[in-house]
Each structure stands twice: as C-alpha cells, then as structure tokens.
Amino acid sequence: MFDVAIIGLGAAGYTAAIYAARYKLSTLIVGEEEGGMSVTAAEVGNWPGDIEVAGADLLARFKKHALNFSEVTHKNVRVEKVEKTKEGFRLHFVGGGSEDARSVIFATGSRKRSLGAPGEKEFAGKGVSYCATCDAFFYRGKTVAVIGGGDAAVEGAAIVAQVAKQVYLIHRRKELRAEPYWSQKLKEKTNVTFVLERTVKEIKGDQRVTGIVLDQPFEGGSALKLDGVFIEIGSVPSVEVAQALGCALDERGYLQVDAAQQTSVPGVFAAGDVTSASNHFAQIVTAAGEGAVAVSGVFEFLQG
C-alpha cells in the first residue's frame, strides 16, 4: 500500500510527487496523459527562473525531477474509480488492475470546453482543433479562425499567425479577457482580424471544414471561408472520479478544498486546475504551489 496516490501527470501532480518523496512517503503518481494543459503552452514566460520556456519542456523537467526519487512509482493508465476501503483507498484502472493508498491527491486538471455549435463534432480532427499551439503547423499559408478571448485563445492566435495566411479572432465580447502581454503581441500582427461581439452559429464543411456562419454580419456577410477553426473558449475541471467518491464541488463545479487542500472527504486532497483554490487562477505556478501544500496536508493527515 502506498502512503499517497497522486492522480494526474501535470504541474500539480509532479510537484506533489516531488514533495511527497522528500517527506519519504511511498508515492504512486498515475494518469492517462502526460503534462496536462501545460504542455499545450508554446511559450511560458511567467515561470520564475525561466524568461521563456516551452510548456512541454518545463513539464518534462518536472517529471524527471519527480521520478529521480526512489519513493515515486509512475503509471501511465487512466483511473476509472476510487473507492474507500478500511485501510484507505483503492484506485481501479481502465482495463483492469488496482492499487491501494492511505491517501489520495486529485491533480486531474481540466479539459477543453466545447463550443456546442452544429458541425463541431462532425469536423473534429477535420479542421476543428482545440489546441492552436499544438496544430498551428498544419495551417501554413491557410485561413483560420480562433474562437475565444482569454489567454489560450489570444496566445494561440498569435502562434497561428506566424504560419497562417489570415487569422480571424472571434470573441463574443467587445473586449478581450487575455493577459495584456498576449493581447498586445496579437495586435502587432498584420494578418490578424478581430471579429468582436459575435458568436459562431455553425461550422460548415464537406470532407473538412470550409467555413463558419456568424450570428451577425461581418464586413458585409455572415459567412467566413476558412480552412480551420481553433476552439479556445476555456476549460472545465475533470472532477468525475472525485465526485463519485463523494468530494463536494463549489458553485462553479470545482473541487472544494480547505487551507490544506483537503476535500470534503478525509484523506482525499486536490491540487491544480481542478480545485476551488488560488482564486480559480489557473497557472502552472499556482498548480505547483497547491501540489506542495496538498502534500503538507497529506503528511499531517497520515501522522494522525
């Protein structure tokens, strides 16, 4: 039986694993995908000590650091269910198998929010993408739209603009919500057109995306001819497994945690984008901080 099982292979999870190992806790860190949302960041400019670093490179360093400790066991598998046992908790994996732990940290992060427009599901992977920084390369010399007004959308549009012929940034509000740094970088691009106070009614195509229909006319018409659509409208926390265990959610659907990052279920903690902590400020630095605090809470819990 492990002292602690950490579910999630992102910034919060790997930081938690590092701290758990330094507390000499036997640690399982498990998840289906490496890196979480952080790996989609082409440029991280606010991690202390690095003026600029790619998200994937930063998370690879996190992983290397964590797995350097003999106390840490790593598994690449999705956790299907966590149940309470007499001694602690049992993690059940997709495809079979399980592991036991005295405590659990959910560092399951979040997943991309869907637009819900007709044509979105039909053309997912056929011109509809949810990661501009991941898929920009495939649209060299083409015309695309990026939907959203937050950091992910504006950063993504700036990245895509480096290779695309024309980029439309479509946002339902009059003002962008992104960090001013990224907003300014985007406004400096000569091949970016801002389409504000409009939403996408439909994504159209044949074998692949051919365009979109807006809810209001833009430059004389409601249709835009496109080769691709990047949907960057935020994310939703991945709480399903924790919720099934009985962990309470806040009014926005995030896991409620106390000052020690403990959920409403004793012995179950949470860290990173999945929680109500850090004023819902989803950053790599806050995720890492919450991961460290969660392990401090775990250590106190295990001491009884």
Give me the residue spans of the domains in the chain. Answer: 4-112+235-302, 128-231
128-231 and 4-112+235-302 share a CATH fold: yes
* Dihedral Cα 112, 265, 16, 249, nearest 10 deg: 20
Pick the CATH number of 4-112+235-302 from 3.20.20.60, 3.40.50.2300, 3.30.200.20, 3.50.50.60: 3.50.50.60
The residue whose two tokens read 């797995």 is 67
Whole-prediction pTM value? 0.83
Alpha helix locations (H) across the chain? Answer: 11-22, 55-67, 132-135, 151-160, 180-187, 240-245, 284-302
Please, what is the Cα angle at 132 between 126 and 137, to 5 degrees?
75
Computed on alpha carbons and rounded to an integer, the radius of gyration of the chain in Å comes to 21
Question: For helices 11-22 and 55-67, what crossing angle results, to 10°?
Answer: 20
Give the catalytic positions in this structure.
131, 134-135
What is the rounded CA–CA span in Å between residue 79 and residue 68?
23
From first to last of the 304 residues of the chain, give the pLDDT tens digit. 999 999 999 999 999 999 999 999 999 999 998 988 787 776 788 899 999 898 889 999 999 999 999 999 999 999 999 999 999 999 999 999 999 999 999 999 998 889 999 999 999 989 999 888 778 889 999 999 999 999 889 999 999 999 999 999 999 999 998 989 889 989 999 999 999 999 999 999 999 999 999 999 999 999 999 999 999 998 899 999 999 999 999 999 999 999 999 999 999 999 999 999 998 888 899 999 999 999 999 999 999 8
Q: Which residues lie below 8 Å from residue 258, measured CB to CB, with a gap of 6+?
A: none
CATH number at 128-231: 3.50.50.60
Both tokens of residue 244? 């099934």
